[in-house]
């Protein structure tokens, strides 16, 4: 018996979004986050399992293959930080990122969070649609404050 509520998968055209960590392609996410690349955080491989375990994770799938990912680090009340929002190049420009954001922000565990943070170099326009504003002290940092 499980008391943990599940969050249902959602569809956007031919894409499926899931918050089920069992569906995450760990090799895909490992290659995305831990191997040197433009999107890499440079984390050592031995720390990789903690990324998934300690985050609310979201996968994007096309024809059964993972093509996107994002995660949220949160205390489920006052603070949430959005990380690693990624859609593979060939699936960009089709509204998949916007649909992922809608799915993510609808997650029951993330409702009512007071303050959201994220860092981005190039997707300010996407996040502004969800209430994020660029911080004056650092143009890479964006914040969203909910009024309650």
Is 95 a residue whose pLDDT tops 50?
yes
Rg of the Cα atoms in the chain:
15
4-8, 41-45, 46-50 — which is least confidently predicted? 41-45
**pLDDT (average), residues 46-61:** 90
pLDDT digits (tens, 9 = 90+) for 15-32: 999 999 999 998 888 887
**C-beta separation of 58 from 19 below 8 A:** yes
Yes or no: say if 112 and 76 are a contact pair by the CB < 8 Å rule. no
CA distance 107 to 103: 7
Alpha carbon distance, N-terminus to C-terminus of the chain: 34
Q: Is the per-residue pLDDT at 38 higher than 70?
A: no
Q: What is the pLDDT of residue 64?
A: 94
Residue tagged 């060939």 (tokens): 90
Mean pLDDT of 64-74: 96
pLDDT band of residue 97 (cuts 50, 70, 90) is: very high
């Amino acid at each position: 018996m499980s008391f943990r509520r599940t969050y249902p998968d959602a569809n956007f055209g031919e894409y499926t979004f899931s918050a089920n960590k069992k569906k995450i392609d760990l090799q895909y996410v490992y290659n995305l986050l831990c191997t040197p690349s433009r999107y890499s955080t440079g984390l050592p491989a031995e720390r990789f399992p903690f990324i998934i375990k300690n985050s609310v994770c979201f996968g994007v799938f096309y024809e059964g293959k993972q093509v996107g990912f994002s995660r949220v680090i949160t205390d489920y009340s006052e603070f949430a930080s959005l990380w690693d929002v990624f859609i593979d190049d060939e699936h960009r420009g089709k509204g998949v990122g916007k649909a992922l954001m809608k799915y993510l922000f609808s997650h029951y565990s993330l409702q009512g969070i007071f303050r959201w943070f994220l860092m981005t170099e190039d997707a300010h326009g996407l996040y502004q649609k969800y209430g994020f504003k660029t911080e004056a002290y650092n143009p890479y940092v964006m914040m969203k404050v909910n009024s309650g």
